[in-house]
Amino acid sequence: MTSAPSSVGTRARVASVLVGLLVAALPAAPVAASPGTGSAAAQAESAARHRPVPPHVVGDHTVPAYSYADAIRESVWVQTRADSDGDGVRDRVAVDLVRPREAAAAGVRVPVIMDASPYYLCCGRGNESELKTYDAAGVIAKAPLFYDNYFVPRGYAFLAVDLAGTARSTGCEDVGGPAEVGSATAVIDWLNGRARAFTADGRPVSAAWSTGQVGMIGKSWDGSVANGVAATGVPGLATIVPISAISSWYDYMRYQGVLRSTDYPGFLHSYVNGRDDDACADTLARLRADSAEETGDHNRFWAQRDYRPSADRVRASVFVAHGLNDLNVTTNQFAGWWQELADEGVPRKLWLYQAGHEDPFDVRRAEWVAALHRWFDYWLQGLRNGVMDEPRVDLETAAGVWTTQRDWPAPGTRDVRIALGGGDGVTGTLGGRGARPGQERAYVDESLTEAELVAEPSTATAGRLVFLSGALTTALRISGSPSVRLRIRVDRPTTELTARLVDYGTAERVQYGSSEGVRTLDTESCWGASTDADDACYRDTEEITEVSDHAVLTRGWLDAAHHRSLRLRTPLLPDRWYTVTVPLNAYDAVLPAGHVLGLMLGQSDPEFTETNDRDATVRVDLGRSELILPIAGRAGLPVIDDAPPVRTAPADPSAARTARDTRQVP
């Protein structure tokens, strides 16, 4: 684990942002400084104390002071620096915005909440798949989601941005790449006077109504864009709220060298493409050629789409939200980003919940809206409401059960190395005394489904190795990113290696499968003001729970030939032993006393990945292999010599075991 950074850097970033807010809030005309009046920060604070308080601010929070029905609605096109479609003209991205008319009339500049998305016309946003709609003049009439309804009356502008190559924008969508990120960055430049924008008929238009302070928000692909823009360090971006978002596109489409599915970049480009096919044919061809699908290697293409190494450039604060059981954008996406931000002292906050690929608006609605309100008021309006003095993490530990903690992973977490023992010859042990070098177990590749891999662990099943702890004598808290270190010998040049941690024990759990763990109800609730074209009411939701006898906690995959480096394959020699590490996705869970922790090892995994490297036999040297488990507190696994018998409902024998298209849309 990396130790927490000093709070000095965080305080400096916070102070810098707040001074910027104070300066941005001053009148547009310059204020002359008298000799000896002190620093720019002091002048800004003094001016702020004497300026009139706008009607949307009461104490330490904003209130709905402006009419949503009368708000200014505009559609403009911002010119970017790129010509991604190669037509000799810079790309222009469509920006549909809603802002308070009364504030504009009074000369009160407002900050911006922005959601840049590829989905506004092709696919929709939110649980109800809302699309943008326009009036007869082509001006925005309805923006998806509640952000404009709720925040515009409170003194914010809302911008819904069509990424390059999507909806009404020109250019070409390059799936997480420079054109996509640059198209959103250009909008922030325009809001700060560094880029040009035009109306539909070509007239230049400025953003003099804006303070220049921007907060980006969005779920999935939208939140991934926010991560990418933050990684550029663009001035004016004060905060981002990435929800279920990608921080490394390689890790989204490749699992440690294993393809998630074929033609993934091309599939996503085509899914959201808003241009004629011919306009972006070259971009599509480059996506397919440069992604190195034939090898699974990490290369320059993927480095451009990995935002984590640029965490040192992030100027914005970051409020992350992610489902612990998200099988679409897996949890390593938030965990890797979170750790890089922590190392750089970036001000940050985190929500983790039991659902899958969901927005917390559909998990814990009232509390989420309140949290966003306070976060944006602090970072965009400069209101000192104490949000940064609260615990950094909100965590759902079971369905509807929430707690807070100082940080994540849980403070006091340590990596514990747990030996793999031979057990009774069918089921191995976790934490056993019997593990010794030279004690081997072999398993063949049977392309098991997950249900087959984890069911009935005390029963011999070809294609897997099973290791069980003893029944826990006290509750066990796992918090962080586990991994499995294996000493292996393989009779093929490579094979896919998979690992899963399983909680064996009866409990009521969120069922996060195809439903993502959330059910849509017939009732609805309203969050903001409405018009005839754009209402603020959304159908209520609830978590789906079920009593089950076991649950998969986390999963991991590795192409064995990428065990040395993701940049280059190293084929395995059949007569040689290799040490490889299979990283598992980040997780946070409490296993109650009496439950049993299981580690399941398999090979090809047709439900989650796609590989042509099958039919291998893997031999594992148990005495030189181990599970590395991030454990919070003093509790550990009981030391045992023989695996306890564990019974579960058998796997459905009709489950398909053939490869399928595993591509999803982020």
CA atoms within a 13 Å half-sphere pointing along the CA-CB vector of 60: 7
- Cα 237 → chain centroid: 19
Spatial CA neighbour of 454 closest among 509, 498, 399: 498
In a domain, 494, yes or no: yes
In a domain, 648, yes or no: no
The angle that helices 264-272 and 281-290 make with each other, rounded to 10 degrees, is 160
Q: Of these residues, 56, 298, 357, 550, which one is catalytic?
A: 357
- Alpha-carbon span 458 to 596, nearest angstrom: 12
Q: Of these residues, 115, 306, 326, 605, which one is catalytic?
A: 326
Backbone angles phi, psi at 182, to 5 degrees: -65, -30
Are residue 317 and residue 336 in the same domain, yes or no? yes
In a domain, 541, yes or no: no
Are residue 394 and residue 434 in the same domain, yes or no? no
By the 10 Å C-beta count (0-12 exposed, 13-18 middle, 19+ buried), 17 is classed as buried
Q: For residue 323, give the 3-state DSSP assignment.
A: strand
- Alpha-carbon span 432 to 623, nearest angstrom: 11
Are residue 303 and residue 383 in the same domain, yes or no? yes
- Does residue 638 surpass a pLDDT of 90? no
Are residue 42 and residue 72 in the same domain, yes or no? no
- Asked if residue 378 lies in contact with residue 384, where contact means CB atoms within 8 angstroms, the answer is yes
Tell me, what's the pLDDT at 304? 98
pLDDT digit string, tens, across residues 493-507 = 999 999 999 999 999
What mean pLDDT is predicted for residues 166-180?
A: 98
- Does residue 18 surpass a pLDDT of 60? no
Are residue 263 and residue 356 in the same domain, yes or no? yes
The proportion of the chain whose per-residue pLDDT surpasses 70, expressed as a percent, equals: 91
Q: Evaluate the CA torsion angle 210, 214, 220, 221 in order and state its sign.
A: positive
Are residue 106 and residue 13 in the same domain, yes or no? no
- Does residue 640 surpass a pLDDT of 90? no
Are residue 199 and residue 293 in the same domain, yes or no? yes
pLDDT digit string, tens, across residues 399-445 = 999 999 999 999 999 999 999 999 888 999 998 776 778 789 999 99
pLDDT-derived band of residue 655, with 50, 70 and 90 as boundaries? Answer: low
pLDDT digit string, tens, across residues 224-283 = 999 999 999 999 999 999 999 999 999 999 999 999 999 999 999 999 999 998 999 999
Tell me, what's the pLDDT at 263? 97
- Asked if residue 181 lies in contact with residue 174, where contact means CB atoms within 8 angstroms, the answer is no
- Alpha-carbon span 552 to 561, nearest angstrom: 26
In a domain, 296, yes or no: yes
The lowest-confidence range among 23-27, 256-260, 400-404, 550-554 is 23-27
More confident residue, 544 or 28: 544
- The encoded tokens of residue 93 equal 């991205």
- Does residue 590 surpass a pLDDT of 80? yes
Pick the last residue of a domain from 370, 405, 440. Answer: 405
Tell me, what's the pLDDT at 641? 73
- Cβ contacts of residue 50 below 8 Å, gap of 6+? none
Tell me, what's the pLDDT at 142? 97
What mean pLDDT is predicted for residues 158-184?
A: 98
- Alpha-carbon span 165 to 370, nearest angstrom: 34
In a domain, 180, yes or no: yes
The proportion of the chain whose per-residue pLDDT surpasses 90, expressed as a percent, equals: 84
pLDDT-derived band of residue 637, with 50, 70 and 90 as boundaries? Answer: confident
Domain that holds residue 493: 414-508+548-632
Tell me, what's the pLDDT at 17? 53
Number of domains in the chain: 3
pLDDT digit string, tens, across residues 301-320 = 999 999 999 999 999 999 99
Instruction: Based on the residue annotation, tell me whether 357 is a catalytic residue of this protein.
Output: yes
In a domain, 534, yes or no: no
- Residue whose token pair is 């909806």: 167
Are residue 103 and residue 222 in the same domain, yes or no? yes
The enclosing domain of 85 has a CATH number of 3.40.50.1820
Tell me, what's the pLDDT at 643? 76
Are residue 327 and residue 422 in the same domain, yes or no? no
Amino acid found at 359: D
- Alpha-carbon span 64 to 66, nearest angstrom: 6
- Beta strand segments in 10-62, E: 57-58, 61-62
Q: Of these residues, 75, 84, 183, 220, which one is catalytic?
A: 220
Are residue 97 and residue 138 in the same domain, yes or no? yes
Spatial CA neighbour of 468 closest among 647, 651, 653, 650: 647
Residues in a beta bridge with 632 = 477
In a domain, 514, yes or no: no
- Does residue 398 surpass a pLDDT of 70? yes
Tell me, what's the pLDDT at 582? 98
The chain-wide mean pLDDT, for the chain, equals 92
pLDDT digit string, tens, across residues 353-389 = 999 999 999 999 999 999 999 999 999 999 999 999 9
In a domain, 645, yes or no: no
Characterize the bridge pairing of strands 414-421 and 428-430.
antiparallel
Tell me, what's the pLDDT at 649? 82
Residues in a beta bridge with 430 = 420
- Cα 450 → chain centroid: 24
The lowest-confidence range among 2-11, 171-180, 372-381, 636-645 is 2-11
Tell me, what's the pLDDT at 479? 98
- Does residue 8 surpass a pLDDT of 60? no
- Alpha-carbon span 511 to 516, nearest angstrom: 7
Are residue 205 and residue 169 in the same domain, yes or no? yes
Tell me, what DSSP letter sits at residue 82?
-
The lowest-confidence range among 27-31, 154-158, 275-279 is 27-31
Tell me, what's the pLDDT at 277? 85
pLDDT digit string, tens, across residues 120-132 = 999 999 999 999 9
More confident residue, 486 or 664: 486
- Cβ contacts of residue 56 below 8 Å, gap of 6+? 62, 63, 64, 65, 66, 100, 103, 153, 154, 155
More confident residue, 46 or 133: 133
User: ∠ CA 216-217-218 to the nearest 5 degrees?
Assistant: 135
> Residue 282: in which H helix or E strand, if any?
helix 281-290
- Residue whose token pair is 């241009």: 275
Are residue 133 and residue 190 in the same domain, yes or no? yes
- Cα 544 → chain centroid: 22
Helices (H), 344-463: 365-381, 450-454
Pick the last residue of a domain from 344, 375, 405. Answer: 405
**Which whole-number Å values give the CA distances from 297 to 28, 304, 561, 573, in the listed order?**
51, 14, 10, 20
